[in-house]
Amino acid sequence: MNASKRPMIIAANWKMYKTAADVGLYMSSFYDALPEQRAGVRLVFFPAAVMIPDVVQAVAKRAQVGGQNCHWETEGAYTGEIGAGMLAAAGAELVLVGHSERRQLCGETDAQCAKKIVAALNAGLDPMLCVGETLEEREAGRQHAIVLGQLSRAIDGLSRDEYARLALAYEPIWAIGTGRTAAPVDAQQMHATIRDAVASIASPSIAAAMPILYGGSVKPNNAVDLVGQPDIDGALVGGASLFPLNFAAIATAAARTAS
Ligand code: PGA
């Protein structure tokens, strides 16, 4: 039972899947399968940017919508990039920053994440920063140092109001898309460590209020054990969120622990 006052956030990361043509059917299946939406659970969809307006319309205020990435500049000659203000104008309220696929495949650095967080905040978007270690780093016992380094380099120096708009997602890279999930007790330990670090970087009250989601092969059958941990405030779901019934099952399970 999550006894904290923090909201439970259940978020779908659709990555580079789906088109606008899939959105209507997905949402009608999803909401048909969701018995009731509990006040304690916030739902968020992170579709590819071109689908943001379609998802905003289809969820009709029952969920929030976010972008998967933004550039740190407001605008400019950056072919193929997207500005945080553009996402906001399309209807996004949040944006993911530093997802491990972007760090690994696009070479995104902590310094860039720091600038993206500022750009997002300035554009009125709430950033969700992703952090996580590789299997090699975990096996070498360096997971805490790696994650805390990513965190401190990306979120240092924000104002109190800005910290209040930030969420974190701990996503061990070895658990993403692999079917391997962190044991709930290990995930809890990392989340508590992250929360302690936020207390030192920002303040204890900011840390106590900050949502820290877990991501990495969250499925209907493991969601309760994960989000039931005291410092795990929700889930960032990739693969399972592509299927409306699976994502509804995860949201329903989370609602039980949040209530
Ligand atoms: P997964 O992805 O649920 O498919 O492991 C999670 C994520 O990458 O956000």
Query: Is the minimum distance from the CB of 244 to ligand 1 under 6 angstroms?
Result: no
Q: What pTM, to 2 d.p., does this model score?
A: 0.96
Domain spans, the chain? 8-258
- Structurally, at CATH architecture level, domain 8-258 sits in Alpha-Beta Barrel (3.20)
User: Which residues contact residue 163 at a Cβ distance below 8 angstroms, ignoring those fewer than 6 apart?
Assistant: 155, 198, 202, 203, 206, 210
218 CB within 6 A, ligand 1: yes
Atom of ligand 1 nearest to the CA of 130: 9
Ligand 1 atom closest to the CA of 13, numbered from 1:
9
Q: Decide whether any atom of ligand 1 lies within 6 Å of the 104 Cβ.
A: no
Task: Give distance in angstroms: CA of 45 to centre of ligand 1.
Answer: 13
* Per-residue tens of pLDDT for the chain, all 259 residues: 444 679 899 999 999 999 999 999 999 999 999 977 666 799 999 999 999 999 999 999 999 999 999 999 999 999 999 999 999 999 999 999 999 999 999 999 999 999 999 999 999 999 999 999 999 999 999 999 999 999 999 999 999 999 999 999 999 999 998 888 889 999 999 999 999 999 999 999 999 999 999 999 999 999 999 999 999 999 999 999 999 999 999 999 988 887 6
Which residues are catalytic, by number?
99, 171
Distances (CA, A) of 214 to 44, 71, 73, 118, 129: 14, 24, 29, 23, 12
Atom of ligand 1 nearest to the CA of 178: 5
**CA 237 to ligand 1 centroid distance, Å:** 5
